[in-house]
């Protein structure tokens, strides 16, 4: 945020959306990058985002995908379950419905392909063989992501209606 302000003179804010004021908005873009799975008051956060966005403003959301290939392969050992820090997990259909019911027009943009390597390597939980196996499985998950087959993490855009 500081870089964008200093380098480009953009009005960029960083912090807890519940502390944001309408006086600092409206915003053209609000980003929840691997955030929504952590918040205690999910609906409240989306309501606040809706209020702070300019007309035709956009949300950008990244979340792990429990419907991904690597989530199925690793089962309960998939690192992105991340209990107790992750309070929610969103299959693509659920995320689309949540955004629609929160007053947005959602668009599923697709996978964040490189998250596949992170999730697979960390799910292996160490060791040389784990690193190799995680890299191999990460490559498979990466390819599945770029082919549109349920990526390890998904990116969504949602427009204010």
Q: pLDDT above 90 covers what percent of the chain?
A: 76
d(CA 51, CA 12): 17
Q: What confidence score (pLDDT) does residue 33 get?
A: 95
Nearest alpha carbon to residue 64 among 101, 97, 37: 37
Answer whether residue 139 shows pLDDT above 80. Answer: yes
Q: What six digits make up the tokens of 136?
A: 């191999």
**Neighbouring residues of 142: CB distance < 8 A, sequence distance ≥ 6:** 113, 114, 116, 117
CB contact at 8 A, 64 and 29: no
Average confidence (pLDDT) over 68-79 = 96
Pairing of the two strands 27-33 and 53-64:
parallel
Q: What is the mean pLDDT of the chain?
A: 92
d(CA 83, CA 49): 25
pLDDT range class, residue 90, cuts 50, 70, 90:
very high
d(CA 62, CA 59): 10
d(CA 104, CA 51): 11
Average confidence (pLDDT) over 66-80 = 96
CB contact at 8 A, 65 and 115: no
Q: What confidence score (pLDDT) does residue 38 get?
A: 96
pLDDT range class, residue 107, cuts 50, 70, 90:
very high
Residue that wins the pLDDT comparison between 92 and 11: 92
Distances (CA, A) of 29 to 18, 26, 90, 156, 159: 16, 9, 21, 13, 9
**Neighbouring residues of 42: CB distance < 8 A, sequence distance ≥ 6:** 36, 87, 88, 98
Average confidence (pLDDT) over 71-87 = 95
Give me the residue spans of the domains in the chain.
Answer: 2-160
**Which fold is adopted by the domain 2-160?**
Rossmann fold (3.40.50)
């Amino acid at each position: 945020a500081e870089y964008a302000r200093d380098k480009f003179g953009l009005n960029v804010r960083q912090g807890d959306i519940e502390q944001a004021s309408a006086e600092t908005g409206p915003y053209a873009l609000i980003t929840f990058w691997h955030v929504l799975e952590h918040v205690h008051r999910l609906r409240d956060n989306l309501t606040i985002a809706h209020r702070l966005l300019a007309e035709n403003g956009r949300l950008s959301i990244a979340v792990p995908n429990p419907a991904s290939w690597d989530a199925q392969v690793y089962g309960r050992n998939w690192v992105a379950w991340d209990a107790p820090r992750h309070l929610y997990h969103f299959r693509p259909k659920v995320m689309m419905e949540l955004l629609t019911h929160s007053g947005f027009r959602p668009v599923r943009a697709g996978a964040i392909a490189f998250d596949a390597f992170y999730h697979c390597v960390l799910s292996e939980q160490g060791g040389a063989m784990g690193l190799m196996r995680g890299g191999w499985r990460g490559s498979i998950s990466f390819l599945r992501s770029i082919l549109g087959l349920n990526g390890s993490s998904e990116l969504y855009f949602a427009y204010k209606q």
